[in-house]
Amino acid sequence: KAGVTQTPRYLIKTRGQQVTLSCSPISGHRSVSWYQQTPGQGLQFLFEYFSETQRNKGNFPGRFSGRQFSNSRSEMNVSTLELGDSALYLCASSRGASGNTDTQYFGPGTRLTVL
Amino acid sequence: EDQVTQSPEALRLQEGESSSLNCSYTVSGLRGLFWYRQDPGKGPEFLFTLYSAGEEKEKERLKATLTKKESFLHITAPKPEDSATYLCAALRGTGRRALTFGSGTRLQVQP
C-alpha cells in the first residue's frame, strides 16, 4: 500500500511570495492533517480536513489556508511568506471517522526555505 | 492548555545498553498516546498507540507503556540503527482531533 506522498519535497521562496504544497493521502483515508515542524517550536498542528471540510484549525495566522478535494487529496497555501515560515511541512492521513482515535500516518514532508 | 513534555532531550547509549525515554502529558481526557520515530529529513514513522493506563505494546526492541500521567518507551539492547528522534503525541478526549507533540528525544546508539 502506497504511503502518504507530498510534493514538492523542497521549495525555496522569497519573502512576500506565496506557496502551495500538495498532499496525497493513503488510499482509503479521508482525513488529512497538516503540521509545521521547526527546530524551535517542534511539531505544531495547522489544520485538519475531512470530506472536503476543514474540521479543526490550529493557532496560525490567516495567511495559512488549505483545502481538500473530492479524492481526499489536500493542498495548503501560505500567502505573503515571512522568514519565520521556513520549516518542514508535514501532511498526515488517517481514516478519519468522527470521534475516531485512529492513527495518523505522515508523509516525508516539504522543506520550505524563505529567503 | 494541553502539554506534552519529553525527557531527556538527548540520550547517548552504547550498543546493548538498555534505557527508557519519558513522555509526561497534561491533556484533557486523553483518547490516545502515540509514539513516532523520526529520522533526519524524513517524516515521523508510526510506532505505537496506547489508549488506557496500564496498556503496553511491544515491537522488536521497543516497548511502550502508559500511566495516567506519563508514558515510557523502553529500548532493550539497542542497536545503532535505533538512532533517531523519538516523538510522543497526545490526542485529547474532546474538541479538536489535533495531536499535541512533545519536543522529542534524540537517541544516539554507538557501536
pLDDT per residue as tens digits for the range A44-64: 999 999 989 998 899 999 999
The answer to whether B44 contacts A90, with C-beta atoms less than 8 Å apart, is yes
Residue B5 in this model has a pLDDT that exceeds 90: yes
CB proximity A90 to B under 8 Å: yes
* A113's grid cell: 526555505
Give the alpha-carbon dihedral of A67, A39, A101, A76, to 10 degrees.
0
User: Alpha-carbon torsion A112, A113, B3, B7, what sign?
Assistant: positive
CA of residue A29 relative to chain centroid, distance: 15
- The distance from CA A60 to its chain's CA centroid, rounded to whole angstroms, is 12
pLDDT tens across B66-111, in order? 999 999 999 999 999 999 999 999 988 666 678 899 999 999 999 9
CB contact under 8 A, B97 and A55: yes
pLDDT in tens, B6-57: 999 999 999 999 999 999 999 888 889 999 999 998 999 999 999 999 999 9
CB contact under 8 A, B43 and A90: yes
Structural contact between residues B64 and B72, judged by C-beta atoms closer than 8 angstroms: yes
What's the gap in Å between the CA of A48 and the closest CA on chain B? 8
In terms of DSSP bridges, do strands A19-24 and A5-7 run parallel, antiparallel, or are they unpaired? antiparallel
Rounded Cα–Cα distance for residues B102 and A43 (Å): 8
Residue bearing the bigger pLDDT, B60 or A55: B60
Which residues does chain A have with pLDDT short of 70? 1, 97-101
In this prediction, residue A77 carries a pLDDT of 98
